[in-house]
A and B are shown apart, each in its own frame.
Chain A
Amino acid sequence: MNTMLSLEKLNPGDNAIINEIKSNGVDHGVLMEMGLISGTSVQLIKFAPLGDPLEIKVRGYHLSIRKSDAKSILVEKQ
């Protein structure tokens, strides 16, 4: 079994499957409504020049989220 890690620990180009969105985040509802729910695959595209926020690809579109939000997204690396 692959290890679980939070989304911002991935490297650019990595693919992963979302396992859980922890509800201790800023507002996990917003993330989930944008399609980040468990079982969905995501790809980390890149980090912004200042290291934060980060760009991910999910459900065929690109989304920018802050590191602090990414911390509450647990993924399983593919």
Chain B
Amino acid sequence: MASNCHASTNLDDATACDNNVVLVGNPNSGKTTVFNALTGLRQKVGNYPGVTVEKKTGSMTDNHGRVIKLHDLPGLYSLIPKSLDDKISVDILTGRSPHLKSVKLIVLVADASNLNRSLYLITQITELGAPVVLALNMMDAAESKGTRINTKEMANELGVEVLPVVAKKGQGIAELRSKIIELLAQEKDKQAHTALPVTDAVQQAAQPVGEYIQRVHGLSVQASLAEAYRIISNDNALQGWLSHTNGRKQDATELSSLATDARAQLDAQSVTWQMLETNSRYRLVDHIFQKAVQPNLKQGRSHSEKVDIVLTHRLVGPLIFVAILALIFQSIFLWAEIPTQAIESVMVWLGQQAALILPEGILQDLILDGAIAGVGAVLVFMPQIMFLFFFLSLLEDSGYMARAAFIFDRFMRAAGLSGRSVIPLLSSFACAIPGIMATRTIQSSRDRIITIMIAPFMSCSARLPVYALMIGAFIPPYYVLGIFSLPALTLLSMYMIGILAALGTAVLLKKLTGRQTKESSFVMELPPYRLPSLRWTSLQMWERAKIFVTDAGKIIFAMSIVLWALAYFPRPDNPNEVSGSTAIRQSYAGRLGQAMEPVIRPLGFDWKMGIGLITSFAAREVMVSTMATIYNVEGGNETSVTLREALKRDRDPITGQAVYTPLVALSLMVFFVLACQCMSTVAIVKRETNSWRWPVTMIVYMTVMAYIGSFIVYQGGKILGLG
């Protein structure tokens, strides 16, 4: 009843009463640009519950002020799902999704300059019988290619409205908006707009499967029949429907036996049913294309093809890649450093102001060292994330990302991954957090998870202070073979250990997860190079930063407070008289470090290092400042001579032996290569995978790896007599 119907204005949920409009289309069709143009900034990025797939929702209002909700579905090529992302879209389009039950209108977005292939998905969707409007985007690109499109003829053939659009320039958007409003106001027709051309024999064979879909899932007659063709001709499609029987076993058995019967019937008439839908559909596609599109046959090499000759050239291509990467890293290490330091100074200043206002005591310490430091811990990542995402979205929007994947696919396959993982993993050498956020461009969700899990093994910039302190203090500046300096070789080995651990983990995870999913082929479109728009690049950069602060920030802040409390309580009776060193020894963190000593002894670590391992979970470089506190070195940092000397002088009170030896230093560095000593990484993995399962697995797995690695280094070194 209408009175019970409450449309919700909250973008997080979609009720049946809402005017739900979905945007679908091939990847690279400019779908996101259309979505942005329609919704402006009224949008929200989240995740579909329980999965890693990104969910984008936005809104626009009609002439009466009613809210229309737009859902930007993951891009796809076909209604037969190949990945988790595809499945989300397909389920929504065919009314099987728990996330979005009632779709009032489908806005199809297609690249007008690439219509032949796009018509495949277009005709699949026009067969479903839901109200559809087709936005022919990139009309400018089609024009400059010399392609002539007869939109009237196309509308005629498809039975749906067709609107030419140039989303990037905002052309046709107003018309599209009014068309959406107009179609929503109409009574919806459940008529399919097109039908797959099949023989009578095929139609007869598919009938029972279609009736089943209609009866059990409530699809229209034509849509059910369209699904039936897919089910018969492709096992993935069949599997897709089998997983939607709501646990009713007899339904699943019934559907698979119906499909088997239909296939047998076609076999008996020697009709090939494998990929029957695809073959018939491309006949339909070719027919429509011929009627409505006049491609420019005399066209020579396009600009994009000329550019590509250089960018994916055998020798020049990889060199350009390295140059681009060098530029990105330069920006992170040099330019992002300036705002980062500014943020740090502001936090210090805030602390000083707070210290003036607040009375000395626990409250002051909590605000200063807990809260302000916690906010600082979140904010210092912002410049890095924004710089990296500025470049990454430029690469993605220009079409270069696909080329980087093309160049390095062979290389990544060694680890069972695809070229898509190259950029996220390389970004992780700067910082795993933007690296992990960049895994969204990986289409296969299994590859995405694996890439997320191995990204923290890449030695990030926060490990450098630890390496620098240990190498500076304990690795003698010898030259090996007269040319290689031992400290440099040590540093290089740390990076190599991280890379090897990452590759090994990838292979292992691939094996573990490989049983359910069969090896998928790596088929990737190489979109034409396009000039990215600065406006949306900035928007994306801003969006990532916002996600980081709002979603990961909360977790990081909470953990900062906990870590502060661990190192702060219990308070000594006379806090003003004891040194920082004594205070931290007495704290819970100090006690934990001491309690841990038997466990970490085999790695060559004493309890002081144990404390450092606990506090450095806030961020790896905190290890250095903790050491400075423990050894009572004022303002000690990784290059401070006093701190290095203090470490070298430290003796075991019982045996009188040096606590640190080069072997201990090596063992500690290896621990830092492998361990997940970074709460921000944990927080972002939680955000990106949308569950605690992966971050917890990551902590446990990496800590075990680190323990084993350090154990081997220390014990192995002792056996070799290096102790």
Contact = CB atoms under 8 A, between A and B. Distances in A.
A58 B113 CA distance: 13
B234 A61 contact: no
The residue in B80, B313, B318, B410 that gathers the most chain A C-beta atoms within 10 A of its C-beta is B410
The residue in B406, B409, B522, B523 that gathers the most chain A C-beta atoms within 10 A of its C-beta is B523
Interface residues of A, number: 34
Interface in B259-294: 274-275, 278-279, 282
B246 interface: no
Contacts, number: 110
B526 interface: yes
Given A55-B312, A60-B116, A48 B521 contact: no
Nearest to B113: A60
Contacts of A40: 282
Given A26-B520, A30-B82, A32-B275, A63 B116 contact: no
B518 interface: yes
Interface in B400-450: 402, 405-411
Contacts of B410: 48, 50-53
B518 A27 contact: yes
B274 to A, nearest CB: 7
Interface string A35-70: 101001000011011111101001111111110110
Nearest to B528: A62
A50 B411 contact: yes
B535 interface: no
Interface string B311-336: 01111011000000000000000000
B525 interface: yes
Contact of B521 (A37, A46, A66): A66
Nearest to A68: B521
A11 to B, nearest CB: 14
Contacts of B113: 60
Contact of B520 (A30, A33, A55, A62): A30
A62 B526 contact: yes
B448 to A, nearest CB: 18
Given A23-B274, A28-B275, A53-B410, A35 B116 contact: yes
Interface in B490-544: 518-528
Interface of B: 77-78, 80, 82, 113-117, 120, 234, 236, 274-275, 278-279, 282, 295, 305, 312-315, 317-318, 402, 405-411, 518-528
A69 to B, nearest CB: 5
A68 B295 CA distance: 32
The 3 A-B pairs at the shortest CB distance, nearest first, are namely A50-B410, A62-B526, A59-B116
Contact of A64 (B115, B402, B519, B528): B402
A1 interface: no
A32 B522 CA distance: 13
A52 B77 CA distance: 23
A49 B526 contact: no
A49 B315 contact: yes
21 contacts: A23-B274, A28-B275, A29-B234, A29-B236, A29-B275, A30-B520, A32-B275, A33-B80, A33-B278, A40-B282, A45-B305, A46-B312, A48-B410, A59-B116, A59-B117, A60-B114, A60-B115, A63-B524, A64-B402, A69-B521, A69-B522
A49 B318 contact: yes
B407 A49 contact: yes
A50 B317 CA distance: 11
Given A33-B77, A48-B407, 9 more contacts: A26-B519, A29-B236, A35-B116, A35-B120, A37-B278, A58-B117, A61-B116, A64-B405, A69-B523
Nearest to A35: B117
Contacts of A26: 519-521
B80 A64 contact: no
Nearest to B411: A50
Contact of A61 (B279, B409, B522, B525): B525
Contacts of B523: 30-31, 34, 63-65, 69
Contacts of A61: 114, 116-117, 525, 527
B709 to A, nearest CB: 30
B279 A49 contact: no
A34 B285 CA distance: 12
A53 B77 contact: no
B409 A66 contact: yes
A29 B79 CA distance: 12
Nearest to B236: A29
A52 B405 CA distance: 11
B78 A33 contact: yes
A55 B405 CA distance: 12
B514 to A, nearest CB: 13
A25 B522 CA distance: 12
Interface string A10-25: 0000000000000101
Contacts of B527: 61-62
Nearest to A28: B275
Contacts of A51: 410
A51 B282 CA distance: 31
A55 B117 contact: no
Contact of B117 (A25, A29, A53, A60): A60
A37 B526 CA distance: 19
Contacts of A33: 77-78, 80, 120, 278
Contact of A63 (B278, B518, B525): B525
Contacts of B525: 34, 61-64
